[in-house]
Structure 1
Amino acid sequence: MSASTSHTFTTPDRPLTWLITGCSSGIGLSLARHAIANGHRLIATSRNPARTPELVKEIEEATNTAGSNRWLTLDVDHPTAAADLVHKLEVDEGITIDVLVNNAGFAVLQTVERAREADARAQMETLYFGPLRLMQAVLPHMRRRRFGVVVYVSTGAGLEARPSMALYGSAKAAGDALIKTLAREVAPFNVRAFYVSLGSFQTNMPSAVQIGKPNATVNINDGTEEGVDDYKGGIADQIMSFMQSGGQAASAEGDPAKVARAIFELASATGIGRGREAEVLLPLGRDAGVRVHEVRDKLDHAMEVFGDVCNHVGVDDEWVGRQ
């Protein structure tokens, strides 16, 4: 998927400063290490750095000629945390943020019917509003400097439906839409944006998965016996049980280090990213590839079935639908 723009992007020939959220594990930690190993400067963040003192020490003591690495506290859910952090770095300390990677997240799994609104709002806060606030905080600086890269780490569940992942997938899909729009808006300023649709990887993501408590206001008068759930044993239930048991971690074949390298190279316009700076979607993982093809096939099918109707609903068109 290429950005529909004729803009030519340039990347400074110097070490970049990366601000990455959710660095305490998984993809965030792998990317943090990869950026440092390749001579770039890192501003790592997590909600509670005190929980991972050994990682904080590793990052902050890593040798880096580009400047000292930092590990800072950032709760992306807090309404002013993003603006406060970026102001501290950019204005108070004069640190240029070249690459923003929105990676922090968690997942709540539950069927649509039984999902609680509180869980839906929590997903949107972390996976959509938090990244939005960070983008809005860094973009004025990137725009003035005429360079910057914004990355949103997403999921194949945001591309195509996965039973039980409606809250997680829809919040991620909202983030995807945000990035797709942003990429078009900021291209004239030599600022790039892309999202990464991930499949299953050998990370601790399963530990960040929560099985949402059923909404107590639904399924009360559906005529079934108390405790009987029509979804029991269905695909959504199977996925939730699989994730809760740690099955994904055991079966995942994806390598977080290779994910980190792919994201790094596209953001820094090196390796696989050289000459592909206008790309907006980076799918990673065989199961993410399956989701991409599902989306393509579904759109093609919709046009095969409804293409005539789609193209004949103008004011002056003759209705072509079957009577």
Structure 2
Amino acid sequence: MKKITLGALTLLLITTACRDDSYTLSTESTPNLVTPALHTRVSDSQSPLTGIVEAYPCLQGSSIYFGNYVNNTLSVFYGFYNVQDGNIVGDNNREVSLPVGKYNIVYWGTPKYEEPIHTTPAIDEPGLSIGSDLSKLYFGLRQYNKDTTYIPVYDLVHTNKEVNIGQEDLEANMERVVAGLKVIVKTKNNAVINSNITDMQVLIGGIAEKINLYTAEPENKTKTVKFDLVRSVDNTEMSNAMVMVFPSAPNPLLTLLITLKDGSVHTLSKNLESTLVANTRLTVNIVIGDIFAGGSSGNFTIDNWNESSETIEFPVVD
């Protein structure tokens, strides 16, 4: 949801999205507008948010998109803010400007992460028009061009809140609606990773295909997200920066694809006992034995934010 990835200009030119045809608004200039301040927090930690925030004004008590006034003219352009410690910063913002009255504001944001995260997340965005019903629109996974798997998504937070423009600022305690996943592969006794291994990829199945723009509820938990593991400098492990995914079905299937120099691909798969739910972060530690010479099996231990863990045994892979 960051500025460079949302494709705001493209999005705002698309006006063919789902629309309530019985709803009409005047697009004439309106001089009596109020531009409220914005204050945001991430509710799981109760800390001020730093990152990007979008604000979609809807009619009071509904999911019908009202629009936003830009240069005193009603437009499809939603509010867009750079935020630091919960408050607006910088000059590259498109603030919410509305006539006095009550509105339902739908907030989406992308917090800035302190630790490294996946560098190329992506989502598919819906078309948007004045009068669109946001409850019928979705943010969706974006598919890789070369296969049927999908790209990890952004770290996304969301909330809806009524506001009385003219009397109240925009304030929102936002909740994370995605799960984080990190995979670390090591050998027994922390030995050097076999030089015969050229690549490792992780597939995580049972991931929701989309989340609702209005409610943030995930739907169709049938898709598979793929990401690469990178070899460490000391060559003792392969891992990924934290990736974000939409929530999963119970016990999603995790698959490790190991590619050798001869081009052969070895596969290790197990259903996790854990489920990837919103606002959880899961670390999967995979220990591989001598799996290419008919040796002992591997195993991986799963630790989430509250320190719980599980161990799953891999079969021997010749």
Q: Which bin holds the TM-score, normalised by the shorter protein?
A: under 0.3
Structure (1 or 2) with the greater helix fraction: 1
CA radius of gyration, larger in: 2
- Determine which structure has greater relative contact order: mean sequence separation of CA pairs < 8 Å that are 6+ residues apart, divided by chain length: 1
